Structure 1
């Protein structure tokens, strides 16, 4: 493998960091949007991640398969350190329509849910996972990292990633169902059309079969 990019990053080569930003900033941003539910905060996460990457550039080792797991590991740590700020942003944006907050969340986790209440229920379910399970789920399912890449990003064995992801899927399915039941609409009155919660639940199950 050609490790010239690794060496250039460690040396602080501006062109190498431009290449790193061009190739991976969209991934970091998508990941941050889905974790925080806030596009503006996600942009801050991207900036902080690359500032940290510059500060920690000498820690990118030649034996690593590429800079993506290293960079995503930095992003995970930045997200951990900004959890409190993310909660403040989520509370403020929770008063806005869900599509303005996380327009593609439904595509990745529960299919195209029918309304904002269902979307909020799914997001609440995800937040009830343990942090370690949530991080593995978001890296592997949302951001498309392989087991080895996620393991490198989190600094854990591949087997740990597999077991955490399995637990996360099982727990998330149950939690999402519970959240949807708590927020189920009453039966419609004559002339009213009932929301699509049943179809949303089927969409969630279909999604889980795809990744399961």
Structure 2
């Protein structure tokens, strides 16, 4: 089996490394309004673009890994810091009844590919449901029913449930993998670069384990609902 691949090793390695290089990085964007400084690692075609083009193309898939060209190399950034807003209740549009001074709630979202951060704008219509229900309607399971600041995508809960059934993977191992997907160099410092919701609070190296405890709680609730209510 290896012999069949061996004669293609050089070409395969070149193709893998070629994806890390982008000749358009730093050049003018195709829209003509900015420079191509950003690219998505999760989109099938990882084409560099300006910030505005990137945000427009990620209104619907807001949980992708983004890189920024520094002039010498690409570095990890995220859509939340670039200004992407997640609107609830009106597809991808802002609620028409939202007050102009409404506070966008910073929220940590745990997905299958990493731990993300986004600002969420809730629906303010008279018939709007409460915040936990709005999150759930968007495929995000809240970590608490009181002023949720953390949510888990249905995808990550389904995937973890499948892993526990098929390979008996522990919640600890699964969560550690999510940390490494977020920051593989310093996985124990995930909260430093990503979890900014409590950034104004004193330094707390155990904050990431607060997320782990929330993950345990939500996973149990999800499993119960899957067994009795779905």
Using the size of structure 1 for normalisation, the TM-score is 0.35
> Which structure's CA Rg is the greater one?
2
Using the size of structure 2 for normalisation, the TM-score is 0.33
- Higher relative CO (Cα under 8 Å, sequence separation at least 6) belongs to 1
